[in-house]
Structure 1
Amino acid sequence: MEMKPIHSGKLRGVGYDARTRTLRVELEGGVLIDYANVGEEIWRRLATSASAWSYYRDNVEEELTGRRVPGAGAMAGTKKNPLDDLF
């Protein structure tokens, strides 16, 4: 699943598999959570939201049941910005 980098709140990336209707979110620390049976409209709104963290909390985290995925995170290969620790 291709992940789109997002830096909003604790979100670090989002991805969607239309075939399986699975939404995957990556949170700080590489935590991956999969949500099953998610419509494309929710994915589209999350991926394009000006405030993705708020949209995620209100429309995904509170409304759908997620399953934590073991692993270091789909975006783990990206380098961490050393300035992130300053803020």
Structure 2
Amino acid sequence: MQRQPVTSSNVVSIGYDPASQTLEIEVREQAIYQYFDVPADVSDGLLRAPSHGKFIWANIRDRYRYQRVDQRAS
């Protein structure tokens, strides 16, 4: 999945696949998470949010099923 870099203290990049409604988030802890069945408006809200981390905690984490899919090389 193609992700776009974002300016954030905790989030490195964000990607979204509308066909599968999968949201992919790369975080600074060198991990990538995929969240499933995420509506497009939630993904759009994340990209527009002034704080990506706060948006994730308030609107995504603990609301959507997810899995850790990759760990970047250090």
After TM superposition, the score normalised by the length of structure 1 is 0.75
- Show the counterpart of 2:17: 17
Find the residue that maps to 2:5 and give its secondary structure. Answer: strand
- The runs of at least 4 consecutive aligned structure 1 residues that moved more than 4 Å come to none
RMSD: 1.8
How many pairs were matched up? 74
Which protein has the bigger strand share? 2
In structure 2, runs of 5+ residues without a counterpart are: none
Mapping of residues 52-67 of structure 1, within 5 Å: 52-67=52-67
Query: How far off is 1:65 after superposition?
Result: 2.3
Cα deviation digits, residues 42-75 of structure 1 (max 9, x gap): 00000111111110111111322210002428xx
Aligned-residue sequence identity (percent) comes to: 22
Which is higher, the Rg of structure 1 or of structure 2?
1
After TM superposition, the score normalised by the length of structure 2 is 0.86
Find the residue that maps to 1:47 and give its secondary structure. Answer: helix
